[in-house]
Structure 1
Amino acid sequence: MSPFVYDPPERCVAGAVGPPGQRTFFLQASEGSRRTTVSLEKEQVRLLGVSLAELLDEAAPEEGSEEAAAPFVDNAPLDSPFDDDFRVQRLSVAWDGTVDKVVLEAHDRPTAEDIVDLDPEVDYPWTGLPAQSLRVVLAPAKARAFAMRCTSSLAGGRPSCPFCGQPLDPGGHICPRANGYRR
């Protein structure tokens, strides 16, 4: 496995590039001139922000509060270029009680248990390539600031349909809750 490790990073942010409906989501960690950029799905960014907030509420409610995170909130744009080092397939968030920090890991392939269940006839993109992973260790306040950035990076998307919750295209969409009629 070839890990990219940032303990601690100077900067760790999530963000999106592109117009609503065609955005690509990235996670960037950097330290000095070294930077790692990985691409994620929108839902992965949302779940990452929610999971971090829940973890901090449970493990470090004071150190990881929004008030403690305020000085660390990073609203600057992502650093360019936006070439990703790998596409994230699996994320994990954990609390390391020995150092009282959050550990975030992103991997380019499923777990070994998941690989057992894959179709042997399909040529998966990671076959024959070395595994890639990103490991970021964050203090509670910085982790909360990162979680807040995850949430704010989702805000610039398309509005949701009030009936089904799916994103609305500029010309509307075929709503399953309206029995397929265009709204």
Structure 2
Amino acid sequence: MAPVVHGFDWPDRFVVGTIGDPGERTFYLQAKAGREVVSVALEKQQSAQLAAGIDHILDELRAQDGNPYHVPADMPEELRDDEPLDGPVLEQFRVGTMTLGWDPSTSQIVIEAMPITTIDDEDEDGLDEEPEPDELLVVRIPVGSARAFALRTREVVAAGRPLCPLCGSPMSPDRPHECRLPDDQP
């Protein structure tokens, strides 16, 4: 059976946001067009990698002779979105795999998010094949919106618990942090 595709071409809003306190936050990727809102849960690291991947694609395109796609170096200020997630946040699925691409025909970044899939132990025929997801989120955004998305995502990721300057692990305000320096440090 074909997967249910939650498709957003030129969405009204596309953001990463969180619910919860630092150290206990749940990250969401949320797309909105009109009254339709789809929220999928993802990991903090997935959010950071998505922002980095978008910036990498845009920087590569910008470096092309003549910047043929008119990729901005920075985020256009009018596209900044600091608002919280649209509520109520109803998790459609938890993201397992994401793909990121560029569509030159529309000058858009294309993000696909697929749910975590499990392989049925009884299905021995398809051991080498990835199971087809039941659902798929596909979002297409123009370059300015992509810059704004990446900036917001980096800020959301950075707003978590502070990192220990010695070991780099997150520090919690409600319990003491004990770290060990690497063996080669005094």
TM value normalised by structure 2: 0.81
What CA distance in whole angstroms lies between the structure 1 residues aligned with 2:182 and 2:8? 48
1:155-170 pair list within 5 angstroms = 155-170=158-173
* SS at structure 2 position matched to 1:162: coil
2:142 is aligned, of 139, 143, 154, to 139
Q: CA deviation digits over 1:62-95, x for unaligned, max 9?
A: 6332545322111111111122111000111101
Two-structure CA RMSD over aligned residues (Å):
2.4
Output the amino acid matched with 1:55. I
Q: Distance in 2 between matches of 1:64 and 1:76?
A: 24
Structure with more helix by fraction? 1
Residue correspondences, number: 167
Residues 168/68 of structure 1: CA separation in 2 closer, same or farther (3 Å cut): closer
User: Equivalent residue of 1:19, what SS?
Assistant: coil
2:62 touches 2:73 (CA, 8 Å); kept in 1?
no
Conserved in 2, the CA contact under 8 Å of 1:59 and 1:95? Answer: no
Q: Per-residue deviation at 1:176? A: 4.2
User: Identity of aligned pairs, percent?
Assistant: 36
* Residue of structure 2 equivalent to 1:26: 28
The offset of 1:178, in angstroms, is 6.2
1:30-79 per-residue CA deviation (whole Å, 9 max, x = no partner) reads 00111100001000111111110111111246633254532211111111
Q: CA deviation at 1:129?
A: 9.9
User: 1:177 is matched with which residue?
Assistant: 181
Distance in structure 1 (CA, Å) of the matches to 2:114 and 2:16: 16
Q: How does 1:6-155 map to 2 (within 5 A)?
A: 6-60=8-62, 63-67=70-74, 69-109=76-116, 120=121, 131-155=134-158
Q: Matched residues in 1 for 2:95 and 2:45: separation?
A: 12
In 1, are the aligned partners of 2:7 and 2:138 still within 8 Å (CA)? yes
SS at match of 1:88: strand
Given that 2:163 and 2:170 are in contact with CA atoms closer than 8 Å, whether structure 1 keeps it comes out as yes
CA distance in 2, matches of 1:41, 1:101: 24
Contact 2:59 2:73 in 1 (8 A): no
Q: How far apart in 1 are the matches of 2:75 and 2:156?
A: 20
**1:175–1:120 Cα change, 3 Å:** farther
Calculate the TM-score normalised by the size of structure 1: 0.82
When Rg is computed on C-alpha atoms for both structures, the one with the higher figure is 2
Q: Distance in 2 between matches of 1:139 and 1:65?
A: 11
Question: 8 Å contact 1:14–1:153 — kept in the other structure?
Answer: yes
SS at match of 2:154: helix
* Residue 2 in structure 1 maps to residue 4 in structure 2: yes
